[in-house]
Amino acid sequence: MAKDSQCAIALGSNLGDSLTTLEGTINQLSQTAGITVQACSSWYQTAPVGPPQPDFINGCALLEVELTPQELLRDLFGVENQFERVRQQRWGARTLDLDLLLFDDLILETSDLQIPHPRMNERAFVLVPLAEIAPNWIEPKSKEAIARLVQAVDCSGIRRL
């Protein structure tokens, strides 16, 4: 059996009933074998990145998993599919977007997975909710705490619901 790992994920939605989708996602993850939801941030309304589209509802969750990063990614994609995620346009509108941000202090780069998430340090919509639940987590590439990283981004477009 694999040792338990600490993980951080980002959740986002801007199509359909986003709050219901995000709450349902947390519930679904908590019922998934090998995953324990340890904490969930508040939900935040954020301006979209990319093409014109509705605002997003974003948040983050801390998970304890008995899975490899690839197994967790597979399960996250499975949950996205249950909530009818369609991948049509990069950075386009979506019913659900789940991103694996951090996995212990692992640095991993494969063709389908990069940990830490490659753009998380630039994104207030990730760092604000993550700092709420994991301010002292050290991002392994920058060696900076999440609470410090969030101070370096523009958080003006983010509103707690």
Catalytic choice (4, 55, 90, 97) = 97
Q: Closest by alpha carbon to 153, among 131, 122, 125?
A: 122
- Asked about 105 being catalytic, the answer comes back as no
Q: Say if residues 120 and 76 touch (Cβ distance below 8 Å).
A: no
Catalytic choice (4, 74, 87, 94) = 94
- Asked about 75 being catalytic, the answer comes back as no
Catalytic choice (55, 99, 104, 105) = 99
How much is the CA Rg of the chain, to the nearest whole Å?
Answer: 15
Q: Give the Cα separation of 38 and 64 in Å (integer).
A: 7
- Asked about 90 being catalytic, the answer comes back as no
Catalytic choice (85, 104, 105, 148) = 85
**φ, ψ at 123 (rounded to 5°):** -115, 110
Grouping H, G, I as helix, E, B as strand and the rest as coil, residue 85 is: coil
- Asked about 99 being catalytic, the answer comes back as yes
Q: Give the Cα separation of 133 and 42 in Å (integer).
A: 9
Annotated active-site positions, please?
A: 85, 94, 97, 99
